[in-house]
Amino acid sequence: GAVVSQHPSRVICKSGTSVKIECRSLDFQATTMFWYRQFPKQSLMLMATSNEGSKATYEQGVEKDKFLINHASLTLSTLTVTSAHPEDSSFYICSARTQGGGEAFFGQGTRLTVV
């Protein structure tokens, strides 16, 4: 099946620094990728929809200047958490759907800890 690779799987950073998370579709082209955040014992919350070649669409309440999304190619989307704070510590997961198919494939997730 289709594979989505996310990197890094785990990162610890100091408060105030920026962290970049990469999401790659390995064997298919993804014009759209999704970024989710999941706090402990809570559901995945959609943060934004990443569109190849255009601006991302952010969900209500998600700061676009804080969570920078770039989808420069059909196989790569990046999420940069800028000026990270401890409250940004969470599990970030990307997802992509194959063209014409219903299933969404997920990256392995990135556990971000801001200290």
Partner 1 sequence: RKEVEQDPGPFNVPEGATVAFNCTYSNSASQSFFWYRQDCRKEPKLLMSVYSSGNEDGRFTAQLNRASQYISLLIRDSKLSDSATYLCVVFGAGGYNKLIFGAGTRLAVHP
In the complex, the residues that contact partner 1 under the rule CB under 8 A are: 32, 34, 36, 42-46, 49, 91, 93, 95, 97, 102-109, 111
Tell the residue number behind the tokens 């070649």, with chain if given.
53
User: What is the spatial distance between Cα 107 and Cα 115, in angstroms, rounded to a whole number?
Assistant: 24
97 touches 32 (CB < 8 A): yes
User: What is the spatial distance between Cα 58 and Cα 53, in angstroms, rounded to a whole number?
Assistant: 15
